[in-house]
Amino acid sequence: MKLFRSALIVAALLFAPVTALAQSDNNAARSVITDQLEAFIARDFDRAYSFASDNIKGFFPTVEQFMAMVQGGYLPVLRPGNYAFGNTEDLAEGRIKQDVLIRAPDGSDWTAVYYMQRQPDGTWKVDGVNLRKGAAGMT
């Protein structure tokens, strides 16, 4: 029995840093999402674009092209009334899926599913957003 308890303690100690790191990553990803949303609200589109991953920048190589895409299909993200974080899911190494519940300017509720990607320098960037009407469950 003593051996079993010792093994559990060792296992807990080995996995504790992973959990802390994952929470740290989730917090960092949420911070990037918040910064991008706040940049949209402030109409600082250059700053908002700076949070896009290289993949996104490959599809939209200029701020103007990026903003045309956002204005054309992501109005709740561009002008959120209120927003709150919902479910978070750790995907493959270096990727996080984060639900963001958004109240649009017209009062409708939306869920923006952010796909975040860790960059080679360790920072997190927005690698895609799926927008759907209605609010998903919160955590």
**Considering the domain boundaries, does residue 25 fall inside one?**
yes
> Which of the 8 DSSP states describes residue 94?
T
**What CATH number did the domain enclosing 44 receive?**
3.10.450.50
Residues 82-136: pLDDT tens digits?
Answer: 999 999 999 988 899 999 999 998 999 999 999 999 999 999 999 999 999 997 6
Q: How far apart are CA 10 and CA 16, in angstroms?
A: 10
Residue 23 in any domain: the answer is yes
Does a structural domain hold residue 139?
no
Q: What is the pLDDT of residue 18?
A: 42
Does residue 138 belong to any structural domain of this protein? no
Q: Which of 126, 133, 137 is nearest to 70 (CA)?
A: 126
Considering its fold, how many domains does the chain have in total?
1
| Domain assignment of residue 73, yes or no | yes
Residue 113 is classified by DSSP as E
Question: What pLDDT sits at residue 23?
Answer: 83
**Structural domain contains residue 99:** yes
Range of the domain at 44: 2-133
